[in-house]
Amino acid sequence: MSVVLHVTGRVLVGPEDVRDELWVIDGRVTYDRPARAEDVRTVTGWALPGLVDAHCHVGLDANGAVDEATSEKQALTDRDAGTLLIRDAGSPADTRWIDAREDLPKIIRAGRHIARTRRYIRNYAHEIEPADLVAYVAREARRGDGWVKLVGDWLDRESGDLGACWPRAEAEAAIAEAHRLGARVTAHCFAEESLRDLVEAGIDCVEHATGLTEDTIPLFAERGVAIVPTLVNIATFPKLAAGGEAKFPRWADHMRRLHERRYDTVRAAYDAGVPVFVGTDAGGSLAHGLVAAEVAELVRAGIPPLEALSATSWAARAWLGRPALEEGAPADLVVYDEDPRADVRVLAAPRRVILNGRVIE
E strand intervals along the chain: 4-12, 18-25, 28-30, 40-49, 51-56, 60-61, 64-65, 83-88, 106-109, 114-116, 126-128, 147-151, 153-156, 161-164, 184-189, 205-208, 226-228, 333-336, 352-355, 358-360
**Interatomic CA distance for residues 25 and 354, integer angstroms:** 13
Domain stops at, among 302, 319, 336 = 319
| Per-residue model confidence (pLDDT) at position 15 | 92
| Per-residue model confidence (pLDDT) at position 188 | 98
Residues 133 and 252 in one domain: yes
Count of other CB atoms within 10 angstroms of residue 27:
16
Residues 332 and 312 in one domain: no
Residues 112 and 74 in one domain: yes
Residues 229 and 93 in one domain: yes
User: Which is nearest to 85 in space by CA: 314, 341, 348?
Assistant: 314
| Per-residue model confidence (pLDDT) at position 284 | 86
Residues 247 and 260 in one domain: yes
Q: What range does the domain containing 36 cover?
A: 4-48+323-360
Residues 15 and 90 in one domain: no
| Per-residue model confidence (pLDDT) at position 3 | 81
Entry pTM: 0.97
**Interatomic CA distance for residues 237 and 208, integer angstroms:** 12
Residues 328 and 204 in one domain: no
Residues 36 and 54 in one domain: no
Phi (first) and psi of residue 116, to 5 degrees: -75, 150
**Which amino acid, residue 194?**
S
Q: DSSP letters along 296-349, please?
A: HHHHHTT--HHHHHHTTTHHHHHHTT---SSTT-B--EEEESS-TTT-GGGGGS
Give the CATH number of the domain where residue 189 resides: 3.20.20.140
**Interatomic CA distance for residues 108 and 99, integer angstroms:** 10
| Per-residue model confidence (pLDDT) at position 142 | 96
CA dihedral for 163, 109, 347, 30, sign (positive or negative): positive
Return the CA Rg of the chain: 21
User: Which is nearest to 29 in space by CA: 313, 314, 336, 325?
Assistant: 325
**Interatomic CA distance for residues 110 and 351, integer angstroms:** 31
Give the CATH number of the domain where residue 352 resides: 2.30.40.10
Residues 44 and 162 in one domain: no
Q: In 3-state terms, the chain is what percent helix, strand and coil (to 5)?
A: 35, 25, 40
CA dihedral for 115, 119, 122, 128, sign (positive or negative): positive
User: Which is nearest to 228 in space by CA: 124, 346, 108, 119?
Assistant: 108
Q: Identify the DSSP state of 14.
A: S
Q: Which helix (H) or strand (E) holds 242?
A: helix 237-244
**Interatomic CA distance for residues 282 and 268, integer angstroms:** 25
Residues 169 and 30 in one domain: no
Q: Which helix (H) or strand (E) holds 169?
A: helix 168-180
Domain count, the chain: 2
Along the 361 residues of the chain, how does pLDDT read in single tens digits? Answer: 478 999 999 999 999 999 999 999 999 999 999 987 778 999 999 999 999 999 999 999 999 999 999 999 999 999 999 999 999 999 999 999 999 999 999 999 999 999 999 999 999 999 999 999 999 999 999 999 999 999 999 999 999 999 999 999 999 999 999 999 999 999 999 999 999 999 999 999 999 999 999 999 999 999 999 999 999 999 999 999 999 999 999 999 999 999 999 999 999 999 999 999 999 999 988 999 999 999 999 999 999 999 999 999 999 999 999 999 999 999 999 999 999 999 999 999 999 999 999 999 8
Residues 73 and 132 in one domain: yes
Residues 179 and 289 in one domain: yes
**Interatomic CA distance for residues 174 and 140, integer angstroms:** 11
Residue-wise burial string across 290-326, b where 16 or more C-beta atoms lie within 10 A, e elsewhere: bbbbbbbbbbebebebbebbbbbbbbbbebbebebbe
